[in-house]
Amino acid sequence: MANSKTPIMKMETLAVHAGRRSDPATGAVTHPIHLSTTFERGADGQYPLGFSYSREGNPTRQALEKCLAALEGGKEALAFSSGLAVATALIQGLEPGDHIIAPEDVYYGLRQVIAGVFAKWPLDTSYVDMTDLAAVRAAVRPNTRLVLIETPSNPLMKIVDLAAVARIAREAKAISVCDGTFTTPVLQRPFDWGIDMVWHSTTKYIGGHSDMTGGALITRFDNYLFERARKSLMFGGAGPSPFDCWLTLRGVSTLPWRMRAHCGNALAVAEFLQRHPAIERVHYPGLPDHPGHEIASRQMLAWGGMLSFQVRGDRQAAMKVAARVQLFTRATSLGGPHSFIEHRASIEGLGTKTPQNLLRLSIGLEHIDDLIADLLQALA
Ligand SMILES: Cc1ncc(COP(=O)(O)O)c(C=O)c1O
């Protein structure tokens, strides 16, 4: 029987076993969904099993947290109701006037959190091109507390040197936090490169089936931002439902195998698009001419299931391609079994820096021949 105390094992094994064990009450092999909101005190008034009230802690959530901490190679994990609930809890831990360094092409929802939810804090944020290490270094201020990283970035698939940015953050005495949503611990392990914390939208590859919303924050060591995020989770009520935790755990079991298939399909689609005369540019770190290919080859195990491409022509040309697909679904989000196509500039709205002729693909688990056939007819 395996549980989270099992010594370091390979990713495929951890994905099936970490944080879980057969239910001692029934022998059930899959971890139960604990819906109870409240837990019984012992005669001495204590909570002998560690749970008192489900907002603060729940056995299904705890299993997920242990599993994600093990997969990431971290000390501890917290599970949230969405990826952006993680970002909100993290930023809530900052003091008014603190300075954040974030990528200029950071996931647009995070910009909304900083500029919208925390407008009154106020916070000081520098958005920089993180592929330019001199620019990251120049952005550091005495009040820099948080350095946010996203690699590959969304949707331009820029690659950031994790070890180099972690070093800059450490020298600035700031905490570095990497968004691991696109890569999952299967493809990239930020802790190996000195990053302090990792956050995920588990809504994507980790859940893996486009049927739940969740997030997670994992830390390599005890720190005040993690503790404050824990308070936001427990007392601010940002926790996921037990059912969503269970769905996430079910998804995790197949994560390493799904990632292989996503990556294989995405590389084949990227190579196909690069050869197609209607395409101006393909953004995929697995292509040798991608500016971040060398760093990606060093810090990623494979190049992921996400890519974007620019159609020759303008916004209308890109929209026409998106309108013609039959197998790809026109939808936002990513990381599920279905392949998605999306005109990113439309969803990002006013002020977007995403090129208007760019389409983003989340490559799913369909057969590669069918995906390429669909793109071929859409580009005809
Ligand atoms: C890279 C990335 N990070 C974070 C998020 C936010 O996650 P959620 O939608 O679960 O709040 C998303 C959502 O699309 C994302 O793509």
Lowest mean pLDDT among 5-14, 31-40, 115-124: 5-14
* Strand 340-342 versus strand 197-201 pairing type: unpaired
Q: How far is the CA of 111 from the centre of ligand 1 (A)?
A: 12
- β-strand partners of 200: 216
User: Is the per-residue pLDDT at 3 higher than 80?
Assistant: no
Outline where 254-314 has alpha helix (H): 255-275, 293-299
Q: List the catalytic residue out of 105, 161, 179, 244.
A: 179
At 6 the pLDDT is 43
Angle at which helices 255-275 and 368-379 cross, to 10°: 30
pLDDT digits (tens, 9 = 90+) for 360-374: 999 999 999 999 999
Task: Choose the residue to mutate in 117, 156, 181 for probing ligand 1, maximizing ligand atoms within 8 Å of C-beta.
Answer: 181
pLDDT digits (tens, 9 = 90+) for 250-263: 999 999 999 999 99
- Residue 348 banded pLDDT, cuts 50, 70, 90: confident
Q: How far is the CA of 242 from the centre of ligand 1 (A)?
A: 20
Tally the residues of the chain.
380
Ligand 1 atom 6, closest CA: 83
Neighbours of 350 (CB within 10 A): 5
At 1 the pLDDT is 33
Ligand 1 atom 9, closest CA: 83
Ligand 1 atom 7, closest CA: 83
Q: Is 281 a catalytic residue?
A: no
Task: Enter the tokens of residue 186.
Answer: 């299967």
Q: Is 55 a catalytic residue?
A: yes
Around ligand 1, the residues with Cβ closer than 6 Å are 82-84, 107, 109, 154, 179, 181-182, 201, 203, 213, 215, 333
Q: What is the DSSP letter of 115?
A: I
pLDDT digits (tens, 9 = 90+) for 42-54: 999 999 999 999 9
At 353 the pLDDT is 85
User: Is the per-residue pLDDT at 219 higher than 80?
Assistant: yes
Task: Enter the tokens of residue 282.
Answer: 């393909």
pLDDT digits (tens, 9 = 90+) for 169-201: 999 999 999 999 999 999 999 999 999 999 999
Task: Choose the residue to mutate in 88, 90, 107, 342 for probing ligand 1, maximizing ligand atoms within 8 Å of C-beta.
Answer: 107
Ligand 1 atom 10, closest CA: 83
